[in-house]
Amino acid sequence: MTPTEANGRPRHVRAYGDTTGDGMVQLSFTLPVPAGPQAEAAAALFARKMGLDPAMVVHAKGVGPDFTFFVVYGRSPVIVDLDEVVVAEREYPLLTAKEINLEIRSRLKRRLVIVGATVGTDAHTVGLDAILNVKGFAGEKGLEYYREIRVANLGAQVDAEELVARAAAERADAVLVSQVVTQRDAHLHHVREVSAALDTRWPSDRPRPLLVVGGPRFDPAAAADIGADRVFAKGTTPREVASYLVHSITTGGRAVAGTGAAAR
């Protein structure tokens, strides 16, 4: 294998700053050091220990009496082999709203039920509303717009067990959890709480609903680690979520949940 692919694009790449392949990167961080010459020297040393050489402190601003925020510009020695890059491919077709409604009606033979919330201490609902509310996101209508989908949006700061209890009452096919707050990995902790509640509180006579998670700091490859069926990263649109749910529930062996559909 040569360093250049057949399409003429390079296989090995470095960061671009001033000129192609110069490895220059910009890095921002905060240190618990009062603003001043010592803080700037500490920031430069910190960046050099990360491998940046040279490392130039181009911005420093005190954050209260004991912290300083920095922007550092420097050269990174890192080279990326694009052959080592792994991207999760979408394994289901991206359907139109009409196709989604038709698939649910013809295969599930009832409305698909979704219960969504942000959990624990997280009070941010922008991402949740972007997927669920009719207004939607990126020019697409939210899941409330689909005739064959019934949505219960519980809003913010919902307890994990309360969310699961409501999902059971609604006979949900899927539980959507959106988390934005990430301090001390709160987003991971709260999703694991929901997963644990589903394991222990979900009625044993029904299939467990899909647990679908979204937020800007989640790793889509880490779904299994936090007990989720699917993790969607930032920029996900309502149609992507709906297409995934239709694929997983109607063709993934989950349609058996339709027993008792008349109760819905």
- Which sequence positions are flagged as catalytic? 135
3-state secondary structure at position 157: coil
Q: What is the DSSP string of 211-249?
A: EEEE-TT--GGGTGGGT-SEEE-TT--HHHHHHHHHHHH
CA pair distance 230, 223, nearest whole angstrom: 6
CA pair distance 227, 213, nearest whole angstrom: 10
Helix (H) or strand (E) holding 40: helix 37-49
Letter string b/e over residues 140-159, b meaning 16 or more CB atoms within 10 A of that residue's CB = bbbbbbbebbbbbbbebebe
In the chain, the amino acid numbered 60 is A
Give backbone dihedrals phi and psi of 226, rounded to 5 degrees, phi first: -105, 5
* Bond prior to 54 in cis (omega within 30° of 0): yes
Q: What is the DSSP string of 195-215?
A: HHHHHHHS-TTSPPPEEEEE-
